[in-house]
Amino acid sequence: MSDWAKPLLRTAGLRLCVLPVSAGLALLTAAITFQSAGVAAFGLITMVAQLQLALPFADLGMGAAVTRAVARAEQSPQERRHAAALIRRTATLLAALGIASATGAACAGAAGVWSSWFVLPPELATDFDVVASTVLVMFFLGLPFGLSERILVGQDRASLLVVLGLILGIANVSVAATVAALGLPPMWLAAGLPVGSAVFLAVCTATALKRWGRLGWGDTYTVPVGTILWGGLPVVLAAAGTVLAEQHGRFVLAQVAAPEIVSEYALGLSLYMPVYSILYMSSAVLWPRFARSLDSRLWRQSNTALLLLGLGAAGGYLVFARPLSGLVSGGEMVLPWPVVICFCLVFIAQSGHLVQENLLTDVWGFKRQAVMSMMLLLVVVPLTGLGVALGAGAAAPAISLTCGVVIAQVIPGRILARRVLQHGVPTVDPFEQLAERKAHADA
């Protein structure tokens, strides 16, 4: 078996094994939210709860270079020293950015900015700004700790993230049950994921640094902030564009559709995300391998493997989404077939791009990914609005996302991947260039 296939299958298999537990926790949380807040409030509560999940890594994407550096750290002592310097500098930058952003989020909540954007049910209006600000403040203050996920992926330990991810579900259902039992305002049901994320990142940080060892904060070797910002900005745009496109349905529907339609889509998305994580976490094992070597055979085989996983995920969603939605909502809301089928198509479309997402991970590649992500966002938002106007309802965001991923990511991503595999990256990565200059200077 190929050296990449075993960890990919291990990660996918492990995620599949823990899926019943994580999905069960998510569904139990959804059931508590339905019972405590009602159908109309469910979509808005989950939207606020998952604001911090708007990026797949809790570092705003600024730490992407850390994964490449950690993956190459064992090649030489100089590479390891460079990786440690990059971790230190990026963590410091994220801490400063997090404090500033948390302050801004708190001020926006105090001014009532968040509640002014949506039509809120009366039972949510009073606490909406406070809870939304709390969620965002906790997210921003945790930015430097989000680098621990990057380190674990670079250490080829993506499968460990799958297991640790259960912390999110356990904390979420615990907080939801506590809020319901104490009779607190229903908006506080959204506080579970921020609490779970804080615990999750603390455990990830301890686990990652236990293997890595000391970061050498007294070492004079450093990485210029400008290099991190220049290399990190495309990553931020790429990650933000893609994930906002995935999550845009909540915001668009909250603006133009009835609360019941928002809740219907939110329920479908809450069933989609745990299954999609099988594909996402499985593909993450390819990142360190492509960082070390651009292998055409690996690219072809992994694309086939991810497509098969995508078809399997779509089949599972097709079978279980409707009965599970009825179970969670107590029979009040069963996902319509158009919504289910459209989410199945999203699985297949996403599986066609995930390999390229883990191949194009140098600065040149992320610049191209950023363009593709922005194009994706520009495609899906108007398509969703058009779909709602034509009566597609909760199915509109899913079908627009399917079309957008194929047009803006799958097709151009494969063209770029072929170019890189055949001719190499046309520019020198600034992080690798910096490491080489430091090595020559030390020599």
Report the chain (443 residues): mean pLDDT per 10 consecutive residues: 63 71 80 74 71 58 74 75 84 88 87 72 71 84 86 79 83 87 81 85 89 75 72 77 80 77 84 83 79 83 90 92 82 86 95 90 84 92 91 90 94 91 65 52 52
Q: Is 120 helix (H, G, I), strand (E, B) or coil?
A: coil
Q: Hey, what are 2's tokens?
A: 């190929």
Q: If you search the block for the tokens 């039992």, which residue do you land on?
A: 181
Could you state, in order of their start, the residue ranges of all structural domains in the chain? 5-434
Residue type, 104: G
Q: If you search the block for the tokens 């002592």, which residue do you land on?
A: 77
Across the chain, which distance is largest between two alpha carbons, in Å? 70
- What pLDDT, on a 0 to 100 scale, did the predictor assign at position 338? 93
End-to-end distance of the chain based on CA atoms, in angstroms? 40
- What pLDDT, on a 0 to 100 scale, did the predictor assign at position 318? 94
Yes or no: say if 146 and 94 are a contact pair by the CB < 8 Å rule. yes
Q: Hey, what are 416's tokens?
A: 């770029």
d(CA 279, CA 369): 19
- What pLDDT, on a 0 to 100 scale, did the predictor assign at position 160? 80
d(CA 95, CA 131): 22
* 328: nearest Cα among 35, 3, 2: 35
Yes or no: say if 301 and 5 are a contact pair by the CB < 8 Å rule. yes
Q: What angle, rounded to 10 degrees, do the helices at 225-256 and 77-110 form? A: 40
- What pLDDT, on a 0 to 100 scale, did the predictor assign at position 57? 53
Q: Is 185 helix (H, G, I), strand (E, B) or coil?
A: coil
Q: If you search the block for the tokens 């621990």, which residue do you land on?
A: 148
Q: Hey, what are 339's tokens?
A: 């919504």
Q: Hey, what are 389's tokens?
A: 């106007």
Q: If you search the block for the tokens 């900015």, which residue do you land on?
A: 113
Q: Hey, what are 326's tokens?
A: 């009825």
d(CA 47, CA 115): 13
d(CA 335, CA 200): 31
Yes or no: say if 59 and 143 are a contact pair by the CB < 8 Å rule. yes
Q: Hey, what are 407's tokens?
A: 């047009």
* pTM metric for this prediction: 0.67
For the residues of 20-44, what is the DSSP string, one character each?
HHHHHHHHHHHHHHHHHH-HHHHHH
Yes or no: say if 433 and 364 are a contact pair by the CB < 8 Å rule. no
Q: Hey, what are 78's tokens?
A: 């100089």
Q: Write the CB contacts of 45 (distance below 8 Å, at least 6 apart in sequence).
A: 33, 37, 124, 186, 187, 189, 190
List the alpha helices (DSSP H) in 155-191: 158-164, 166-182
d(CA 78, CA 110): 48
CA angle at 27 for the pair 24 and 32, rounded to the nearest 5°: 125
* 400: nearest Cα among 383, 417, 421: 383
